[in-house]
Every structure is written in structure tokens, then in C-alpha cells.
A and B are shown apart, each in its own frame.
Chain A
Amino acid sequence: MREQPILRILTKQMFPFILVFGFYVIAHGELSPGGGFQGGVTLAAAFILYAMVFGRDEMHRIFPRRVSDTLMASGVLVYAGTGTYCLIAGYRFLDYTAITPSNPGGAESWGMTLVEYGVGITVSSVMLTIYSEITEPADEPGPRPL
């Protein structure tokens, strides 16, 4: 697929727009349909498209395995960290009022956005990891998986 100029150019054109849409979906989770999960999958789809057209090694060059492994865990850390911050600030776990106690409604909005980013980061990097691990051809001869 690497010699197809139309696919290559189209992918390069679409890649940033898919990323922007993914971040839009994550950031507007509390305002419009969508949220961390859907936005994260959209972000992963951008990188999967890149990997399909340019090859997995090229995708790993712009988004290394070490980065995706770290992001996978740090998304959950963002989520749980938001909850723990509320706990430390004297409220209940995941009681977002702790973020700006003078304005509980705005605090809910903030907390949800943070949490959605956590979900989005985890989901996108996990989906990317699953894709790149599943499609990796087995190098050694011998029994193939499944």
C-alpha cells in the first residue's frame, strides 16, 4: 500500500483533522454527545490509518511504543488522581466540587473534562497497542498464534 500516492497524500491531509476531531469530542464530552471513550477511539483511528498506509514502523517512529505504554497507564492516573485530589481537598472521592468550591457547577464541568481526558488517553493508546500487537507478523517460524 506504500506506493499509492493518492492514499498517502489523503492520509497526510486527513491525519490532523481526525486528531482535532478526537480532541474536540473529548473536550466537549459534558456539552455534546461523545466523551473520552469515543474521542479516544477517534484519536487511535488516526494513528491506525497512518499505520495502515505508511506501515507500522513509520507509525512507531512518530508515536513510539514507550510513549504509548506510558500514556496507557497515565490516563488511569489522571482519572484516579482527580479523585484523589478531591479526597485530599476534604471532599469525597471524585466529588468534583473540590476543584473550585465557590462554583460547584463549573467545578463539575472541570472535573468531567479532566476525567474524560484521562479516559481518552488510556483508550486511544490501548487501542493503538492492541492494533499494533495484533497485526505484527510473527517473525520466528513455528506455531502462529491461534
Chain B
Amino acid sequence: MIASYRLIDLILITLVIVTGVAAVRVRNLFVATMLMSIYSLLMAMVWMNLDSMDVSFTEAAVGAGISTVLLIGTLAQTGTAEKVPARVSWTAVAIVGLTTAALLYGTLDMPRFGDPKAPVHVHPVSVGYIEQNVEKTPDAGRNFTPTPPLPPHQGDGHHRNDYFHGHVPNYVTAVIVSYRGYDTMYETTVILIAGMSMVLLLRRRRKESP
């Protein structure tokens, strides 16, 4: 008997594949843009089904929302039909097929989905971050057996496994902003550079011809 959430997953994945193929095949670019938007929304639902709310939120806001608006804005400036009908390049098909096979082969080494003994869950750092969330919200960490709290550190008098005293229950943000703070800072800088490029490339064109 298949579990209900697995069934939903199956339906969603099927729809995702259908939408992706349709977005590639269709010639009208407006239709392709809307199909990509639908694809993102479906992916957001898939992420939500996998309990990764942060990724789902990002996918819905950025993939389905802003990207669609930006693509449609671009299409309003250019044309809406693909000029050259794409021919199937069998070399490309072979490369993509080989890459897919290699990636699928790579997933065989991955731990079972939701396995509490997976390396990512037993590493000391992740144990600390996961314990932020356990018992702070009713559903979090339901497959996770918390380890007994370790004795306080020498010097700073708090438990080793609860870095933030429960102040940061969302450990995705804790990892992104605290553990990998440098990374996020430079990601923000990349976004700033993107905005600066838009200003430098597209704004001057208009200023010179009022």
C-alpha cells in the first residue's frame, strides 16, 4: 500500500516532467514562460511535500513570481516567437543522457530519504543545529532522537548542542546566516552587482536620448 504523501509526490513529479517537456517543446515564448511558472509552482509543492519550507518559499517567490514577471517584461521588448525551429542534436541528447545516467548512478550511494543515521544528521554541527528545532515546534525532528545534552563548555556556560538557547528555532536560517555567513554576504554582493550591471548597461542608453 503506497503512502498518501508518496502518491502526491508521484503525481507532482509527473506533472513537473510533463510541464518541463512542454516548456521545451512549445514555440510561443509567452506560453513557454507561463509553463516555466507552472513548473516552479509545482516544484514549490514538491519541496513542501519534502518538508523543506524555506526552499519551497524561495521557489514560489522567485521562480514562480519574479522570474515570470521579468521574463514577460523582456518578451514585451523583444518578440514572442522562437525564430529558428530547433533541430534535435543527437550529440547533445547523448551528452544529456550520459549525464543523467551518471547522476542517477550517484544517487545510489545516497542514504535513504529521512534516514536519521545519515551522515548529515549525525555530524556534530548538524546535531547542534537540529536540536534548536526539536521540541520548539510540534512537527520538527519527529524522526530524530535527540542526544542527551552534553556538559557545558568550559568558559561559556551553555550546552554544546544548543548554540543559541532556542532563540533561533529555524535552523535553515541559522546555517545560512550564521554558520555560512560569509557565503550569504557574498551572495548578497552578487545580487548587488546584478543590480549595478542593470543600471550601468540599460539606464545610460535612455539618458543620452531624452
- Residues on A facing B (Cβ under 8 Å): 25, 29-38, 41-42, 44-45, 48, 52, 69, 72-73, 75-76, 79-80, 83, 93-94, 96, 103-106, 108-109, 111-112, 115-116, 118-119, 122-123, 125-127, 129-131, 133-140, 144-146
A69 to B196, CA, bound (A): 8
> Once the chains bind, are A104 and B177 in contact (CB under 8 Å)?
no
Q: Which residue of chain B has its CB nearest to the CB of A125?
A: B195
When A96-B178, A109-B167, A116-B173 are in contact, do A126 and B194 touch as well, CB less than 8 Å?
Answer: yes
Interface residues of B in 159-182 (CB under 8 A from A): 162-170, 172-174, 176-178, 181-182
A45 to B63, CA, bound (A): 13
Of the candidates A106, A111, A134, the one having the most CB atoms from chain B within 10 angstroms of its own CB is A134
Does residue B103 face the partner (Cβ distance < 8 Å to A)? no
A to B CB contacts below 8 Å, 12 in the list = A30-B170, A31-B168, A32-B170, A34-B54, A35-B173, A45-B69, A105-B165, A106-B165, A108-B178, A109-B167, A130-B70, A138-B77
A130 to B58, CA, bound (A): 18
> Once the chains bind, are A73 and B192 in contact (CB under 8 Å)?
yes
* Chain A interface, DSSP helix/strand/loop, else mixed: helix
Tell me the count of chain B residues lying within 8 A, CB to CB, of chain A: 52
A70 to B172, CA, bound (A): 29
Does residue B203 face the partner (Cβ distance < 8 Å to A)? yes
Does residue B26 face the partner (Cβ distance < 8 Å to A)? no
> Once the chains bind, are A34 and B167 in contact (CB under 8 Å)?
no
A75 to B69, CA, bound (A): 23
- Complex contacts, B203 vs chain A, CB 8 Å: 133
- Residues on B facing A (Cβ under 8 Å): 53-54, 56-58, 61-62, 65-66, 69-70, 73-74, 76-78, 156, 158, 162-170, 172-174, 176-178, 181-182, 184-185, 188-189, 191-192, 194-196, 198-199, 202-203, 205-206, 209-210
> Once the chains bind, are A105 and B158 in contact (CB under 8 Å)?
yes
Residue of A76, A93, A146 near B192 (CB, 8 A) is A76
Q: Which residue of chain A has its CB nearest to the CB of B194?
A: A126
> Once the chains bind, are B177 and A33 in contact (CB under 8 Å)?
no
Q: Which 9 A-B pairs have the closest CB atoms?
A: A105-B165, A126-B195, A33-B53, A135-B73, A94-B181, A140-B209, A105-B167, A109-B167, A133-B202
